[in-house]
Amino acid sequence: MAHGPVLSDVIGLGIDAVDVGRFRRAVERSPRLLDRVFTDAERAALDGRSDRIPALAARFAAREAAMKALGTGLGGIDLHDVWVERTASGQPVLRVDGRAAALASRLGITRWLVSLSHTRDVAVAVVSAG
């Protein structure tokens, strides 16, 4: 008896890395970028951090990784259709809505797993769709 997902349950897999410095410069040039990319809840959840840019870059990487898992490129879904929440224990959870949810349903995706990590310089995300 399997305990959790097995490889045959994976429909799509995506990974993405973001250069934190480049992301920071993009935000400095266009502060509205944060509103266009991230949900109100995502921004609010990180408001208390002294430097939220690395964590936001990881969430941006999660969007890109989710698009790869869905088999679509940037622009294939709306950026607000994918976002990251945290459970009470701190575990990241990927949420999908809109065009992303419709595509996931057509592909038979019912479960998402996401892992985020970042340093001062690089943010990465891995997304599994099953």
Question: Domain holding 68: CATH number?
Answer: 3.90.470.20
Is 23 a domain residue?
yes
User: What is the domain extent for residue 90?
Assistant: 9-129
Residue 3 included in any domain: no
Is 2 domain-assigned? no
Please tell me whether residue 117 adopts helix, strand or coil conformation: strand
Residue 1 lies in a domain: no
Mean pLDDT of the chain: 92
Give the number of other CB atoms < 10 A from CB of residue 73: 10
In a domain, 92, yes or no: yes
Cα 99 vs. chain centroid, distance in angstroms?
Answer: 15
Q: What is the pTM of this model?
A: 0.90
> Any idea which residue has 């990784």 for tokens?
65
| Closest residue by Cα to residue 112 from 92, 128, 101, 126 | 128
Is 52 part of any domain?
yes
Domain tally for the chain? 1
Whether 4 maps to a domain, the answer reads no
Residue whose token pair is 């349950």: 9
Give the pLDDT of residue 84. Answer: 97
Q: How much of the chain exceeds pLDDT 70, in percent?
A: 94
